[in-house]
Structure 1
Amino acid sequence: MADTTVTAGHFRVAGKEFPHVAWWNLPHLRTTYFLLFFVVLTSATNGYDGSMVNGLLSLKQFKNYMHNPSGSIKGLFSGIMFLGSLLALPITPYIADGLGRRWGICIGSSIMIFAVILQSASVNFQMFIAARFFLGFGVAIAHGSAPLLITELCHPQHRAIFTTIYNTTWYIGSIVAAWLTFGTNHIDSQWSWRIPSIIQAFPSLLQISCVWFVPESPRWYVSKGQPEKALAVLAKVHAEGNAEDELVLLEYEEIRETLAIEKEAETTGWLELFKTKGNRHRLAILLSAGLFSQWSGNGLVSYYMTGVLDDIGITDPNTQLVINGCLNIWNCIVATTMCFFVDKVGRRKLFLISTSGMMGCFIVWTICSERYNATKNHANGSAVVAMIYLYYTFYNTAWSGLLVGYTVEILPFSIRAKGMCYMFAMVDIALFFNTYVNPIALNHIGWKYYIVYCVWLAAELAFVYVFYIETRNTPLEEIVRHFDGDAALLGGAAATQKGRILEQEIQEKEHKNATTHVQEHSVGM
């Protein structure tokens, strides 16, 4: 395993330490990070949708227009989106790897805009459901490209913070939708729900307009045989245009040689994650992270807050919307704050703290719900609301930001896009099941349903303790050492033994081909 000890005020690449960089003092880096804001809007769009659906289900105007949908129809409103996402995943990596990260974001956003138009013009729940299917399809394509671009473009010092922030912006979209539906609740017409739906297109319009000003991934350029463009991007973003900067040259060589080794080893297929011990370890983390991020009880609040609050006697739509809106603000504050502790505390510790805290909160949440059911004492209902806030404090300690931040960094470039599809597929499967089953379960067994999550969270904690490993203070290409050890494919100054052997074989093959070409040319003359 690689040594990750770093002197205070420094970061390490290829075994060498470099002083920390104040990004706000560097014009090109500052501009790049500003532009990346438009990339992270993909996650904000997703958050907007979840909160909007929650809010619409609290609006009497929406429920009346949709003829008071049953629990199963409510589940379909949310669940069909994740089915659309699931069906889009097989083509997502081919767009991200074939056309580029920016094209993936643009194509996904375009599909989402079409879906929002259809959703906003809906005249019945069938049309609304069809629109949400296409919305999920577009989200999956954009989601499959946006975090890759962020991870592969950021300065090594800032990668962990920025990639973790990506998923926490879910709450920014969620906050906007929660308070928007609170405001439109006072509009006594169909516009009370059509306005939030129309505004959902705004982030996608911004992305289509602005993503082309963001530099393409230098790693993607190398993979497409355009190393000079990759070096230019690295120099501009990481060294203010200085192509001779030592950090830039180390990064460039590490990226170029590592991708050449991965290509030579043919490690790009969908089944690659099943072939080696290191990749199976990665797959276990990817699938579990996708599952745990949605099956930890958070789906009850994210999409069915109204049902949870109804069960503890809080039935007023305005009160429900205020609780939901304040919760999203609190979630955003906690999740964003924790992004700055990813490298200081470490991924593994944050996951353990988060999961154990959620389990404790959910146990108390379940007890208070049972007490309210037995006594109808409003103090017990208020305690449930307090536990929901505390539960989300622990959830956002790790599972919000690190769901993407951790999973995207543990994957080598050759399988990064496909590996993230495995993770997102598990998210969509979990959400489709959760959003369809949760309202039915809440309607039939009420608070007893929470017991399932108490037991499940204990199983999650055990799994995280056994399989989740620490990757902090490790450059992106060098993380392979944590999983593959001596078998890791890594070039550049930090090359592994296997990487050096394969690099030598590649050079010998290139030399042989060049010699053959010269000889054939000589004979031809």
Structure 2
Amino acid sequence: MIAGAIIQGTAQGINAFMGGRVMMGFGNSLAQIASPMLLTEIAHPQHRGRLTAVYNCLWNVGAIIVSWLSFGTNYIHNDWSWRIPAILQALPSVIQIIFIWWIPESPRYLVAKDKSDQALSILARYHANGNAQHPTVQFEYREIRETIKLEMESQANSSYLDFFRTKGNRYRLVVLLSLGLFSQWSGNAIISNFASTLYDQAGVTDSNSKFGLSGGQMILSLIVSVTMATLVDRWGRRPMFLASTGGMFGVFIFWTLCAGLYGEHGSPGANYAMIFFIWLFSFFYSFAWSGLLVGYAIEILPYKLRAKGLMVLNIMIQAALCLNVYANPVAFEAFGLKHSWKLYVIYTCWIFCELAFVYFMYVETKGPTLEELAKVIDGDEAAVARLNLEQVEKEVAIETHDVPQKV
């Protein structure tokens, strides 16, 4: 990503600039897979849900910074108006490459590579202030070790074909594909990519007013998504997905009505109502989809399929984004600004299908450890250690008990 940013910022032609974009996209794809996996696997079980949910919400921070930076450099009347934002894309990666040396390795990765002592040390340091004999640490360590051992025994090497070999893995694949598709096809891409067109439809044509509305909407999304992410372990994943998707469905009904009233009849006030529903849609989308998209995907995947599953998710996201970029402009042109409500009818029906799918297919993942979550999906066939926390506590107490010496 650093190299890609430098190439973009110093490009003397469109070909070099596009080459830098490709390099940036390649590096970003790797980061999107590695970062949430590492965060999830080193997080304390009590904090896992909140941390992974907050992680994906922070994309809004980057979006806000880039928006205001680009707004400021827009007043520079030379090439530096675009070179500065392009070069500054390297800054987060520079910060990351400096501090990565202080980030611990995943205990699950270390166990899989026969470095169990290092794994136990990391669990003890970050989950029990260095106490390797703490019952929680011992339970996590033994469960990770036994579960990975079972996974390795069942199949030495994993492949993408594993997603088709068991009922549980087929379910995981379907949910992963739905996460990637729904996260981009719920109408949010219209707001992200065609905000200017939407505000034109609502009668807002001034560029500064559009920028202010878009900037305020991103700030709202950040506040809502982070707030909801901190409540994910209290409310649960499934209720939040249902509330978010149901809210988007309801908003699109009224958004479509207002677009029709203003476009077809010029009804006074309908244009301002459209702006309100655009913001309200962002509220409901941020309620769950911003934070739970990656976190939920990681939770339903076993260790051996975790990286491959995230790759499937990201491929689906990018495919959906590509289709949005090419299909929505065609739809807007075909229907015209006055009849854009017809496009919104399609989205309304689609979001209803999403709501039904979420209701029948998304299971609750709140509570269990990453290893225990396999039981939720695979049932008795789950390749997971069968440990009892109370038994582990007794064994740890016996091992750490000081036996008085005989005199």
- What amino acid does structure 2 have at the position aligned with 1:482? V
Aligned match of 1:466: 360
Tell me, yes or no, if structure 1 residue 255 matches structure 2 residue 165. Answer: no
Query: Are residues 117 and 304 of structure 1, via their aligned partners in 2, closer, same or farther at CA, if it must alter by over 3 Å?
Result: farther
Give structure 1 stretches of 5+ with no counterpart.
1-111, 496-525
Measured in 2, the distance between the counterparts of 1:144 and 1:456 equals 28
Query: Are residues 377 and 183 of structure 1, via their aligned partners in 2, closer, same or farther at CA, if it must alter by over 3 Å?
Result: farther
Measured in 2, the distance between the counterparts of 1:456 and 1:486 equals 35
Tell me, yes or no, if structure 1 residue 359 matches structure 2 residue 249. Answer: yes
Measured in 2, the distance between the counterparts of 1:459 and 1:393 equals 20
Measured in 1, the distance between the counterparts of 2:196 and 2:12 equals 24
User: What does 1:273-284 align with in structure 2 at a 5 Å threshold?
Assistant: 273-284=163-174
Measured in 2, the distance between the counterparts of 1:191 and 1:318 equals 21
Measured in 2, the distance between the counterparts of 1:118 and 1:399 equals 33
Measured in 1, the distance between the counterparts of 2:6 and 2:334 equals 35
Contact 1:299–1:431 (8 Å) recurs in 2:
yes
Tell me, yes or no, if structure 1 residue 200 matches structure 2 residue 89. Answer: yes
TM-score (norm 2): 0.90
Deviations 1:328-378 (A, max 9, x none): 100000000001221111111111111111011112112222222224456
Aligned match of 1:493: 387
Tell me, yes or no, if structure 1 residue 440 matches structure 2 residue 330. Answer: yes
- What amino acid does structure 1 have at the position aligned with 2:365? T
Aligned match of 1:476: 370
Aligned match of 1:210: 99
Per-residue deviation at 1:189? Answer: 2.9
Measured in 2, the distance between the counterparts of 1:141 and 1:442 equals 34
- What amino acid does structure 2 have at the position aligned with 1:395? Y
Greater shift in the superposed pair: 446-455 or 413-422: 446-455
Per-residue deviation at 1:381? Answer: 2.1
Aligned match of 1:414: 304
- What amino acid does structure 1 have at the position aligned with 2:102? F
Tell me, yes or no, if structure 1 residue 370 matches structure 2 residue 264. Answer: no
User: What does 1:382-397 align with in structure 2 at a 5 Å threshold?
Assistant: 382-397=272-287
Query: Are residues 275 and 436 of structure 1, via their aligned partners in 2, closer, same or farther at CA, if it must alter by over 3 Å?
Result: same
Greater shift in the superposed pair: 308-317 or 263-272: 308-317
1:489 alignment partner, SS class: coil
Per-residue deviation at 1:150? Answer: 0.5
Query: Are residues 359 and 157 of structure 1, via their aligned partners in 2, closer, same or farther at CA, if it must alter by over 3 Å?
Result: same
Deviations 1:189-243 (A, max 9, x none): 3323322222221111111111121101011001111111101110111111111
Deviations 1:95-115 (A, max 9, x none): xxxxxxxxxxxxxxxxx1222
Deviations 1:6-26 (A, max 9, x none): xxxxxxxxxxxxxxxxxxxxx
Tell me, yes or no, if structure 1 residue 311 matches structure 2 residue 205. Answer: no
Contact 1:478–1:494 (8 Å) recurs in 2:
no
Aligned match of 2:396: none
Tell me, yes or no, if structure 1 residue 285 matches structure 2 residue 175. Answer: yes
Q: CA RMSD in A?
A: 1.7
Contact 2:128–2:137 (8 Å) recurs in 1:
yes
Aligned match of 1:449: 343
Measured in 2, the distance between the counterparts of 1:125 and 1:276 equals 47
Tell me, yes or no, if structure 1 residue 130 matches structure 2 residue 19. Answer: yes
Contact 1:313–1:378 (8 Å) recurs in 2:
no
Structure 1 stretches (4+) deviating beyond 6 angstroms?
none
Give structure 2 stretches of 5+ with no counterpart.
390-407
Contact 1:307–1:439 (8 Å) recurs in 2:
no
2:368 alignment partner, SS class: coil
Per-residue deviation at 1:288? Answer: 0.2
- What amino acid does structure 2 have at the position aligned with 1:305? A
User: What does 1:6-405 align with in structure 2 at a 5 Å threshold?
Assistant: 112-266=1-155, 268-376=158-266, 379-405=269-295
Query: Are residues 476 and 211 of structure 1, via their aligned partners in 2, closer, same or farther at CA, if it must alter by over 3 Å?
Result: same
Contact 1:178–1:324 (8 Å) recurs in 2:
no
Per-residue deviation at 1:311? Answer: 2.7
Greater shift in the superposed pair: 341-350 or 378-387: 378-387
- What amino acid does structure 2 have at the position aligned with 1:244? Q
Query: Are residues 309 and 359 of structure 1, via their aligned partners in 2, closer, same or farther at CA, if it must alter by over 3 Å?
Result: same
Contact 1:221–1:229 (8 Å) recurs in 2:
yes
- What amino acid does structure 1 have at the position aligned with 2:200? D
Measured in 2, the distance between the counterparts of 1:130 and 1:370 equals 43
